[in-house]
Amino acid sequence: MQNRPKVTVWCGITATRVIGPYRLCDTMNAECYLQMLEDYVWPIVPGRENIDELVFIHDGTPLHFALSVGAWLDLKFPGRWLGRRGPHEWPARSPDLTPSDFFLWG
């Protein structure tokens, strides 16, 4: 089973829709993740009426907290993203955190 082909898929969730699925690079790294954010996610987001209320949440995967990804999120979601080394730090020991856990329950 170790040599079986693998597929990594990303999906985003908002209050009104699912964004994706998006098939990620075979070898995932910060550059591929940032490319996906720029080419796939961002073209969908600006059309939303409540863009200033959107909060981007991702977990503590190392490629998610690369400096290039953090700089892009600071530009597109200033002060409105949750993740390691972001304006809202990912809570410790919370691998299965959901948006409601952070924003509704505190």
Band the pLDDT of 101: cuts 50, 70, 90: low
Query: Is 87 a residue whose pLDDT tops 60?
Result: yes
What percentage of the chain carries pLDDT values higher than 70? 75
Residue 58 or residue 2, greater confidence: 58
Complete DSSP assignment for 28-88: --HHHHHHHIIIIITTTGGG-TTGGG--EE----GGGG-HHHHHHHHHHSTT-EESTTSSB
User: What pTM did the predictor assign?
Assistant: 0.72
pLDDT, mean of residues 79-89: 77
Query: Is 67 a residue whose pLDDT tops 70?
Result: yes
